[in-house]
Amino acid sequence: MTNVQTRGSRLPGRSLVRPSAARPVNGRSASAPTDFYLFSQLLTDEERQIRDRVRAFCDQEVIPVINDYWERGELPFPLLPKLAELGIAGDTIEGYGCPGMSRTAAGFLFAELSRGDGSLNAVLGASCLAMYAIALNGSEEQKQRWLPGMAKLEKFGAFAATEPDHGSDVINMETRAHREGDDWILNGSKRWISNASFADVIVVWARTNTEQVNAFLVEKGTPGFDAQVIKSKLSLRAAWPTHITLTNVRVPAANRLVHAQSFSDSMKTLNLGRYRIAWAAIGHAMACYEYALAHVKKRKQFGKPLASYQLVQQKLARMLSEITSLQALCYRLGQLIDEGQATSAMISLAKMQTTLRARQIAADARDLLGGNGILLENHVCRHMADLESGFTAEGTDHMQALTIGLEITGTQAFF
């Protein structure tokens, strides 16, 4: 039999596999221990700069102070002007002062920001969801009025779709809007709506008398609008989700998003939110792995560093394997979204898989830190708790699975 030399086989005089020790200083070992497959090499200069800028911001500004805000359940308002200076609000939206970055750049942005703190990512993410809704469904006048200020974080937004009795069952929303002269009157309630207590504009989704699902821009200070911060939560403590009550809230007709006419229009925005959460979960996992790796290298037990023990190395290897797989999954998904080929099920698969695996990575990191793992100063339990919000937000694990199941079987199993 002829010995066929394949592309991956060993050639005389040289090896196609470079030993780990030969990796460059600017590779994963020096600057990004979670970039094991060198995704940096696949990024454009602009994408890499965005990622590195956000990572540096988190290392220098966020991580040193965030535990105190998280413990007190206080939103880190002093960090918001510094966040604005990064120029990342609105991420993939083009024009209107927004960055217009690629979906890949946005993904790594979400990961790096969550690697610093999930609450800060949630605050920016809620405002960006409102921006997406306006960009996708608004008139030119509405875009011009709101997007430039929101891109500078001079104004903040909120996205109000979820209701108290209809978490995953968003399609059966009970919030109502009826026309009265030149205004729309809104009545109902929403829950788990981040930023609504201080946002300048809240995108509220409601059913009209014709059963259409429309979206309305409710401005800060509108009579009848009440947003109460939800207290005593144990996840994303430095972000402020709210319970909204709408009592005869009068909204000018000019504030109805003109192209939002069905539930599917809200899903376009929610899908982008799920993409963000998928990358955010990776960011939490990256943080937990990095903290665990640093700990086992310096912590000695029985006369040797923990990093020298086989079980520890096995756990680290599996954690890194999961992170690398999730990065590849979301990297490809970003490409598909940019190409217009991504389906809701594809996005659901990424959100389901990343949040599930990230929870396990966080648990493994907490285990590697031993008793110190429960200390806030070591960060891991903060990320572990924050991942619980991502696991259920924008549709629970079960709902993501049913979305995927519908696409692969063609059979509706939601109800």
Task: List pLDDT tens digits, range 356-414.
Answer: 999 999 999 999 999 999 999 999 999 999 999 999 988 888 889 999 999 999 998 87
**Is the pLDDT reported for residue 166 higher than 80?**
no
Tens digit of each residue's pLDDT (9 = 90 or more) over 68-118: 999 999 999 999 999 999 999 999 999 999 999 999 999 999 999 999 999
217 plus 165 within the same structural domain: yes
Give the chain's domain count.
Answer: 3
Which neighbouring-strand residues pair with 320?
none
Tokens, residue 319: 């954690």
**pTM value?**
0.91
Q: Which helix (H) or strand (E) holds 409?
A: helix 397-409
Domain that holds residue 129: 41-151
257 plus 268 within the same structural domain: no
Which neighbouring-strand residues pair with 204?
160, 216
Greater confidence, 219 or 394? 219
User: What ranges in 85-176 are assigned the alpha helix state H?
Assistant: 103-116, 118-137, 140-151
276 plus 295 within the same structural domain: yes
Domain boundary among 96, 131, 151: 151
Domain boundary among 135, 151, 167: 151
Rounded Cα distance between 154 and 160, Å, is 20
The candidate with the shortest Cα–Cα distance to 68, out of 362, 286, 382, is 382
Q: Taking a C-beta distance cutoff of 8 angstroms, is the pair 137, 172 a contact?
A: no
268 plus 249 within the same structural domain: no
Rounded Cα distance between 12 and 322, Å, is 34
Rounded Cα distance between 34 and 328, Å, is 12
Average pLDDT over residues 149-177: 88
Instruction: For residue 14, tell me if it sits in a domain.
Output: no
297 plus 404 within the same structural domain: yes
335 plus 221 within the same structural domain: no
The one-letter code for the residue type at 200 is D
Helices first, then strands: H and E counts in the chain: 12, 11
246 plus 121 within the same structural domain: no
Instruction: For residue 5, tell me if it sits in a domain.
Output: no
Tens digit of each residue's pLDDT (9 = 90 or more) over 248-302: 999 999 999 999 988 888 888 999 999 999 999 999 999 999 999 999 999 999 9
**86 DSSP 8-state letter:** T
